[in-house]
Structure formats: C-alpha cells, structure tokens
Structure 1
C-alpha cells in the first residue's frame, strides 16, 4: 500500500513539474491550436497603428499559407511564405503585411482597456512611456511580475499585457511571427516589435 502511495505521489509530482515547464505547455497549446483551435481575438493594425479590424471567435488557428513558399530548382523551400492562413470557426481569413495580434481568451490588453482613462500619448517626456503607463494602472494589475509591450514597426505602442510566467517561441514555418505563452494563454505577434519587462524595473 505504501509503495502505491509513493508511486502515486511521484507521478503527481512529475505531472506538476511538466505542467510548470513552459516548453511542455507550449507544445500542448500548439497541439490544441492545431486540432481544436483557440478561442480569442484577432486584431490588425494600419501603418498609423490604428486598429483596422477586430475578429473575436472560437476554434481559431493560424498557419502559414505554403502556397506562397518560394522554392529552388530542386523543389526545396528557400523562403517560407509570410501569408497567414487563419481559420475562425470554419471560416477563413487570408492576411499578409500589416501587424496582427492574436490574444487567447483570458488575456487582457490593458492599453485597450484603459485607453479612455490613461493619457497614453502624453507630451511629458520626463517619464518614459512604459513607466508612466505602468504607474497609472498598477493598482488595477493583480501582482503580475512581467509586462509585455507590443509596438508597431515604427515604435508606436499597440498593446500591453501582464503575466507571471512569460515565454517566447519561434513557430515552425511562420516567418515574422512570435508565439508567447503568458500564464498558459497564447499570444501571437505578427510583424511587430515587443519587449518583456520585469515590473520591478518600472516602479
């Protein structure tokens, strides 16, 4: 009996270690996206960092459209396609070029949430933007230790997310794209810059 209990405890501890590993979490999240899709929101942005469209749906999957891969004379892929083939609940969206952000349900874009109450585009240069933004909303953030700032390719802030466990991954076969795992939730950034800060640095 004691041996069975020890085996059970060892098994549970092993599962906990696996669950705590971001790489394992990313594998399962990618598998979920591939076979079941993820529930969340897709936004694209124009060159002035304004939102072009916003699609919220279920069973969302994002892949590279390999019809646009460039191949050499031997048929080997020399440059992978930057065209995104997006499925939203059985419907299709083809996207290329402009910045795109996908956030799984459970993630909050604090820049969007507090856009009406926080002076995001202040002319005051005495305090950097990230520090100022964090100081204005920190009472509304439940103790997360990481801040993710997503910026356009021209440097304009687009979105801000918070989390405790944040990891980045390069998706296989999708250029110009970064996959993040934020406390177990998927964040996908296409054609945009981003920085991850320890919030202790911003106080």
Structure 2
C-alpha cells in the first residue's frame, strides 16, 4: 500500500502543498510582456499563491494574485507569469517556436480518455508543456516524465507537478502534448 501511494501524483501534490504552505518552495518567478520579454525576475522561497479576495466584487473575482517571496508580499496582475521550482529546466531552445505534427494512428477516443484519466493521478504522463504569452508569443518549454495537472481556485492560473517539481502558469496560453506525439 505504501509503495502504491508513493507513486501516486495526488499524494505527491498533497505533500508539495504542505511544503508550500509551511516553508515555501525555492522558486524562480518571471513576469513577461506580450512580446515574451522578461519584465522582472526574482527568486527565493515562494509561499502560497492565492487570489487577492479583498478586490473581489459580487459580480467578478479579482485577477490579482498574492504570494510571498522570502516572507515579503508580492501582488501581481496583468502580465504573464511563470513560477518554476528550482530544479525545473526551461528547454525552450530545444523546441521550435511552432509545432507541426501528424498522427494517423487509429484509436478509440472515448477509451483513450478513460485510460488517460485513470492513469494520470497515479503515474502522470510523459509531457511537453509549451507556454506562450497572451498574444501567442512563445515564452518557455518544459518537459517531464511525470506531469500532473493540478487544480487551483485562482482564475487564469494553472499549477502542474513536473517530475515532482511545481510549475505555476498565470495568464499564459499553453499547450500540453504527450511527448510521444512530438517524437514521431
């Protein structure tokens, strides 16, 4: 039972969330303009990334996020942000700026979806994550043997576990591909 749980992505996510809440994660944070130029970059122990609820109204949720870096508060809205736990490598230069592939394998879509949905929480997938600015300009690329898409209550934010490391994408366009699809 312990062996099965240690491989479970949901269990890894739980422990990663506890670490984020208690001591923070050693991360690099970058914000980008619409042309994928870095506006600012900083690193340190990053604590919980949350929606700034003080700015919520009855009709809309705030797009402002709040987090701490080394115990100091940061509020951010507007531009694209990528937060990567130290140890994750941006492999953007290894992939072309656009992806063009064809796959003519015959499959059963509903069966593929069931298998992938069942497998992901336990083992994750071999994936490549291509991240673009809000206007479609490429920003970063990450790949991992075990990629797990996580939920978040912050609008416009996606959280992933990539080989046990946290990757947070805020206000970015992105595509996530099975690695096998790109290697054909």
TM-score for both structures, normalised by structure 1: 0.72
Q: Which ranges in structure 2 are unaligned for 5 or more consecutive residues?
A: 102-124
Q: 1:178 to 1:59 in 2, by over 3 A?
A: closer
Alignment map for 1:1-203 (pairs within 5 Å): 14-71=1-58, 78-111=59-92, 114=93, 129-130=98-99, 145-172=126-153, 174-203=154-183
Q: 1:131 to 1:67 in 2, by over 3 A?
A: same
Q: Which has the larger radius of gyration?
A: 1
How far apart are 1:59 and its partner, in Å?
Answer: 4.1
After alignment, is 153-162 or 15-24 more displaced? 15-24
Count residues with an aligned counterpart: 160
Greater relative contact order (Cα < 8 A, sep 6+): 2
1:99/1:152 contact within 8 Å kept:
yes
How far apart are 1:81 and its partner, in Å?
Answer: 2.0
The runs of 4+ residues in structure 1 deviating greater than 4 Å are 118-121
Q: 1:94 to 1:131 in 2, by over 3 A?
A: same
Q: 1:163 to 1:119 in 2, by over 3 A?
A: closer
TM-score for both structures, normalised by structure 2: 0.79
